[in-house]
Structure 1
């Protein structure tokens, strides 16, 4: 039976300036909405494992519904084809790469 790696959840309400990632008002109108919370919860229910960990043979529970194409780069926020399940560690790595690319663009 495969091993499921547990992931620590971030503390509620803790955000840094970096969490805005170049977004205006951090897209609060989307991420703070009940519609997004339901969308994200349903996505994680249907796709419970991190796709990036799965690509390297690890089975890690996903904790984040991520936009493949970020909203601040004209990604469609409500399109299920633009959603992917990530663990917190993979999401942080992806976000850091996006911030780096944005600085050097």
Structure 2
């Protein structure tokens, strides 16, 4: 909470593109992953844009990127870590508190 009693929003998740990535990955079961091209298609993002946002999420340890091979073809898998799930839950709670405060005319 800030001095005014308003909750802080996680700046790593708060960027629109990273929020979309995090929410999309949270829809998977814990421990499940999605291929980079499938995530790119799902979010309708360019490869470069998605890579940039994934790097920031990876630096915060919110996502895990795994390079693998399927039948000699390189595959990049992306999954939301436990830390990322907790961060998204905290972000969601903080956003709800913020909306409750502003919705009640207290903001």
TM-score normalized with structure 1 length: 0.31
Larger-gyration structure (1/2): 2
Bigger relative CO (Cα 8 Å, ≥ 6 apart): 2
- Structure (1/2) with the larger helix percentage: 2
- Structure (1/2) with the larger strand percentage: 2
